[in-house]
Amino acid sequence: MILKGKVWKFGDNIDTDIIIPAQYLAHTDPRVLSQHCMEPLAPDFAKKVKSGDIIVSGTNFGCGSSREHAPLAITGLGIPLIIAKTFARIFYRNAFNKGLALLEADISDLVEDGDEIEADISQGIIHCKGKEIHAKPIPPFMEELINEGGLINHLKKKLEG
């Protein structure tokens, strides 16, 4: 799958309290959660971001809590992909479980807010600023899980089988 979108750049250690502050965690609806995405750092982000835009970040994106509200707040805005140098491990699993694609690549210094980039999710290839960058490959086990439609579909099949 090839995704094209405009870049929103964030720094290192973007934690889950920034992605979705705890005061909103009694909500489970992604449409409500998404309105507060990144609020402590960028209060206008949810209003300005367009469906299809892509987040680019540095190291340890999604560190902190296990709240699945974090990937939901992001997908609720129509953001299909995050490219970061590294991801925190709970966020990494949660994103896959919630259908949010992640690519591990260090492109933060190459791009600016608003740049148009293109990413081939299945190949892990990113095109930006005339360069081709190869993301760290997705572990084969997780790729299988994605091909099965995610963990919940995998579970559904097990229960039906």
Q: Which is nearer to another protein, 2 or 41 (CB)?
A: 41
Q: How much of the chain is helix, strand and coil, in % rounded to 5?
A: 30, 25, 45
User: How far, in Å, CA of 39 to CA of 20, rounded?
Assistant: 7
CB of 138 to another protein, least distance (A): 12
Q: Which is nearer to another protein, 35 or 115 (CB)?
A: 35
Tell which residue, 95, 107, 109, has the closest CA to residue 138: 95
CB of 141 to another protein, least distance (A): 4
Q: Which is nearer to another protein, 18 or 74 (CB)?
A: 18
Beta strands 116-120 and 125-128 are antiparallel
By CB under 8 A, name the binding residues for another protein: 13, 15, 17-18, 21-23, 25-28, 39-41, 59-60, 63-69, 71-72, 86, 88-90, 93-94, 97-98, 139, 141, 151-152, 155-156, 158-159
User: How far, in Å, CA of 54 to CA of 109, rounded?
Assistant: 15
Separation of first and last alpha carbons in the chain: 29
Q: Which is nearer to another protein, 8 or 117 (CB)?
A: 8
